[in-house]
Amino acid sequence: MNEAEHPQPVPGTSVPSGLKARARRVLQHLDAVLPDVDALYVDLHEHPELSGHEARTASEVARRLEPEGYEVSRDVGGHGVVGLLRNGDGPTVLLRGDMDALPVEEKTGLPYASRVRTEDGEPVMHACGHDVHTACLVGTAAVLARSRDAWRGTVMVVGQPAEETLQGAKAMLDAGLYARFGTPDAVLGQHTAPLPVGTFMHREGVAMMASAHVRVRLFGRGAHGAMPELSVDPVVLGASVVMRLQTIVSRALSPLEPAVVTVGQFQAGSRANVIPDEALLELTVRTEDAGVQARVLAAIERIAKGEAAASGAPRPPQVEVLERTPVNRNDPALLGRVRDAHASVGRARWCRACSPPRARTSPSSPRGRSTRCPPRTGSWASRPRRPGRRRRARRPRRRRRTCRGRTPATTRRTARAPAQRVRVTHRGGAGLPARRQCRRGPLKRPRPGAGPLARRVPRRLPPPRVPPS
């Protein structure tokens, strides 16, 4: 694993030796599983499927779970897959991974890049990392199946379809997921993030923001493009709404209330010379609080109606909330156990900012620093530094400059650097020569061809010789 910022040993947070031993017994099968996981990732990335069409992906997941001893159920709430592995008495842990892709064209240039297109010619790509999630889910299931002597309980592996449209989880619950397979004691999921390879990130409290999918339909009056005076242009109306929506987060909410309002779709018209009758906007709203979400949705409706009235629209706009999901909050006790399990791998330690809240350490403690964890967005498990070594901040080197526009050879970097401190002023009115000044006093005019200012001083050429007549 990689290093995090200032990893410090925290007294009293050592991982139990039994947990370390069991983790090593489980991970001893990892090397044997990784080639299959990598092959599955490449295959899924090369053959992505949109939400609600994950038939091939679900088949691959089920095909790899059955040889490991899982009781596999297919087509749960659409293309959902559920695999059960019972291993004596103990808690039931649900491992979840999403399987769908996005309508995005891949331009990575990878040898296994997606070239899949729908029947309508729409490109498809795993642009959100669901291919990684599914491959890791299958790999984790295989490792746990091969190390049953290290744990007790029931593992429930769930391949979730239609995550991007917010329909897959609801469909699986409506299909009786917990009624048919049992209610889990813990649900574990993961998501890729722009972090260094091998770094684990944990977050207490809100892990994923609440989301809402909003559709705004604006009505106008169509006309020919050459006679705009006869129309109420919904394109201009929609553009005004889009610009005004940007003020919700910056002006209607406190800086301490995180929120995101993004317009992802704007559709209007079909011909260049025809002003359409209506325009369609679709938005995504992300907030960390249900009250903030309600205020943002009310602001969207207020702005849409106000702009429509200002444009003289024949009908008020329609504002619909198509889907809505609540805030995803991590359980503190379960997060601590997961963090301890990650810390047991590779003798990891916590950084000072991510350690559990404790009293300030005494001067005799390691480096005498506080171990109290301030509010942060995440925590990391990292490899510790070698004892006795600290990273020192480097001071930028100062460059020596002279007032005559010359730079010593030892510090010369750019020819124009000394000229940044020079300003040109005129005194006494027009027609007088410019005077160069420095912070330390007036500068002398350098001789032609000397110093970096030489190119600013035009050379005086001798008068041309006139041949004798």
- Examine the pLDDT at 409 and tell me if it is beyond 90: no
Across the range 380-384, mean pLDDT stands at 43
Q: What is the pLDDT of residue 412?
A: 43
pLDDT bin (cut points 50, 70, 90) of residue 196 is: confident
Q: What is the pLDDT of residue 368?
A: 38
Q: What is the pLDDT of residue 204?
A: 87
Across the range 375-383, mean pLDDT stands at 42
- Provide the CA 177 distance to its chain's centre, in angstroms: 30
Q: What is the pLDDT of residue 197?
A: 81
Q: What is the pLDDT of residue 426?
A: 41
Q: What is the pLDDT of residue 397?
A: 62
Summarize pLDDT for 204-246 with one digit per residue, the tens: 889 899 999 999 999 999 999 999 999 999 999 999 999 999 9
pLDDT bin (cut points 50, 70, 90) of residue 63 is: very high
**For a pLDDT cut of 70, what percent of the chain falls above it?**
70
Q: What is the pLDDT of residue 59?
A: 97
CA angle 12, 2, 375 (to 5 degrees): 55
- Examine the pLDDT at 402 and tell me if it is beyond 80: no
- Examine the pLDDT at 177 and tell me if it is beyond 60: yes
Across the range 74-87, mean pLDDT stands at 97
pLDDT bin (cut points 50, 70, 90) of residue 10 is: very low
Q: What is the pLDDT of residue 189?
A: 93
Q: Which of 132-146, 260-274, 298-312, 374-388 has the lowest mean pLDDT?
A: 374-388
- Examine the pLDDT at 146 and tell me if it is beyond 90: yes
pLDDT bin (cut points 50, 70, 90) of residue 383 is: very low
Q: Which of 16-30, 54-68, 173-187, 417-431 has the lowest mean pLDDT?
A: 417-431
pLDDT bin (cut points 50, 70, 90) of residue 200 is: confident
Residues sharing a CB contact under 8 Å with residue 283, sequence separation 6 or more, in sequence order: 213, 214, 215, 216, 245, 261, 262, 263, 264, 300
Residues sharing a CB contact under 8 Å with residue 61, sequence separation 6 or more, in sequence order: 81, 99, 134, 137, 138, 159
CB 124 within 8 A of CB 116: yes
Across the range 155-170, mean pLDDT stands at 95
- Examine the pLDDT at 41 and tell me if it is beyond 90: yes
Q: What is the pLDDT of residue 21?
A: 85
- Cα–Cα distance between 303 and 51 in angstroms, integer? 31
* 274-275 and 92-98 strand pairing: unpaired
Summarize pLDDT for 88-120 with one digit per residue, the tens: 999 999 999 999 999 999 999 999 999 999 999
- Examine the pLDDT at 467 and tell me if it is beyond 50: yes
Residues sharing a CB contact under 8 Å with residue 375, sequence separation 6 or more, in sequence order: none
Q: What is the pLDDT of residue 121?
A: 94
Across the range 59-71, mean pLDDT stands at 97
- Examine the pLDDT at 395 and tell me if it is beyond 80: no
CB 101 within 8 A of CB 126: yes
**For a pLDDT cut of 90, what percent of the chain falls above it?**
62
- Provide the CA 47 distance to its chain's centre, in angstroms: 23
- Examine the pLDDT at 399 and tell me if it is beyond 70: no
- Examine the pLDDT at 283 and tell me if it is beyond 50: yes
CB 64 within 8 A of CB 97: no
Residue with the bigger pLDDT between 451 and 355: it is: 451
Q: What is the pLDDT of residue 88?
A: 94
pLDDT bin (cut points 50, 70, 90) of residue 7 is: very low
Q: What is the pLDDT of residue 273?
A: 96
pLDDT bin (cut points 50, 70, 90) of residue 343 is: confident
Query: Is the pTM higher than 0.75?
Result: no
> What residue ranges define each of the domains in the chain, with the CATH number in brackets?
17-207+331-382 (3.40.630.10), 214-325 (3.30.70.360)
Residues sharing a CB contact under 8 Å with residue 267, sequence separation 6 or more, in sequence order: 279, 280
- Examine the pLDDT at 469 and tell me if it is beyond 70: no
